[in-house]
Amino acid sequence: MLHQQQLRCCGSTASSSPVLCLRARQHNRSKCMNCFAVHSPQQELLASTEISQASKALLPYVLWDRVTKLTASWDTRGKADFQHICEILQPRALQKIVVSQATDAEGQPLTYLTIVCKPEDSDDVAAALLQYTPATHITASPSEQCYLPHRTVPVQTAFGAIDVHLSLAGSDVKKVTPNWDQCQLAAEQQQQRQGAATAEAAAGDVDAAAVAAAAVGALSEGLADGSIQLDAHLMF
């Protein structure tokens, strides 16, 4: 049953830069070689078993979509209105738009903007990137993404309403991810309500992690007492 599960808060993973400098690539390659250089038969058996268990548990529910990944890059000295770019492109994005910085092989710092969209939206998104960023070229690559059926559930906490994103495998909740932007905003508002900073107030400051934990707790309670219904059968 859903309410019998122990729900855990999952943070979002940070996206790596599309291009790494030569030294970073060599460093990462070295780490990979070290990682796979020594594997005992017991380790290989354990790894194989864990992969098989994950495959058996999740593959019946995994969904796949064809997507297009577009990347624009330009000299960091070029100016771009990122707020405006995100406002016009986020409705077409399947994930959050990622802006990062890296250094090319010649040591030149570059800014990268990466967006994942539906294939049918790629032409429009590419045109918008050319129009609203300093980039002169856009790189586009077809790809695929997989995910579990999901649902967003609003929950009430002492800090206000927070959306919690759930990944489902049948009737099982596999991942619980609070909306971290909302958690951060709620934490900042709570800190403002605490008034002038004092040693006592500072010790009781609430951060985004505390708000996220409260949201997950509220979700668990709602699933347990039946006040939150997932209707998981509608997800397929």
pTM to 2 decimals?
Answer: 0.66
Per-residue pLDDT at 34? 53
Q: Tens digit of pLDDT for each residue in 158-172?
A: 999 999 999 999 889
- In this structure, what DSSP letter does residue 56 have? H
Q: What is the mean pLDDT of residues 77-102?
A: 92
Q: What is the mean pLDDT of residues 165-194?
A: 92
Q: How far apart are CA 202 and CA 184, in angstroms?
A: 16
Per-residue pLDDT at 17? 42
Q: What is the mean pLDDT of residues 73-91?
A: 92
Q: Tens digit of pLDDT for each residue in 9-31?
A: 444 444 444 433 434 444 444 44
Q: How far apart are CA 92 and CA 84, in angstroms?
A: 14
Q: What is the mean pLDDT of residues 66-93?
A: 94
Domains and CATH numbers, the chain: 2-8+149-235 (no CATH), 63-147 (3.30.70.1380)
DSSP string covering 112-145, please? EEEEEE-GGGHHHHHHHHHHHSS-S-EEEEEEEE
Phi, psi (rounded to 5 degrees) for 120? -70, -15
- To the nearest 10°, report the CA torsion of 80, 91, 67, 65: 160
Q: Please, which residues have CB within 8 angstroms of residue 102's CB and are 6 or more apart in sequence?
A: 17, 18, 19, 20, 21, 109, 110, 112
Per-residue pLDDT at 143? 95
Q: What is the mean pLDDT of residues 167-193?
A: 93
- In this structure, what DSSP letter does residue 9 have? B
Per the prediction, the chain carries an average pLDDT of 82
Q: Please, which residues have CB within 8 angstroms of residue 172's CB and are 6 or more apart in sequence?
A: 2, 5
Per-residue pLDDT at 19? 39
Q: How far apart are CA 13 and CA 159, in angstroms?
A: 25
179 pLDDT above the threshold of 90: yes
pLDDT band at 85 (very low <50, low <70, confident <90, very high): very high
Token look-up 């997507």 returns: 67
Per-residue pLDDT at 16? 42
pLDDT band at 187 (very low <50, low <70, confident <90, very high): very high
